[in-house]
Amino acid sequence: MDTYTTVKNRILYLCEEKKMTINKLATNSGIAPSTIKNILYGKSQNPGIVTLKMLCDGLEISLIDFFNTDDFKNLEQEIK
């Protein structure tokens, strides 16, 4: 799995786990719903670390918690 897909899946998983809609995540994180949708639907495949931090704040988790999964730990090198 590539990094973009892993990030997207993690956001969707956390929203489902916290029973949070994209609009609620947008409100909580101070990010426009369109920005989140662009990340989730592939229009923006390289979200910045500040954006991810804001999403984590909206999800009430740390960046460490966001990335501390087996999926992230097992990502293959993208530059070959």
- Confidence check: pLDDT of 4 > 80: yes
Q: How does residue 78 score in pLDDT terms, banded at 50, 70 and 90?
A: confident
> 7-63: per-residue pLDDT in tens?
999 999 999 999 999 999 999 999 999 999 999 999 998 999 999 999 999 999 999
- Model-level pTM greater than 0.85? yes
Tell me the helices (H) and strands (E) count for the chain, helix number first: 6, 0
Q: Spell out where 35-78 has E strands.
A: none
Distance (Å, whole) CA 35 – CA 44: 8
Q: How does residue 1 score in pLDDT terms, banded at 50, 70 and 90?
A: confident
Q: Domains in the chain, please, with CATH?
A: 3-68 (1.10.260.40)
At 9 the pLDDT is 97
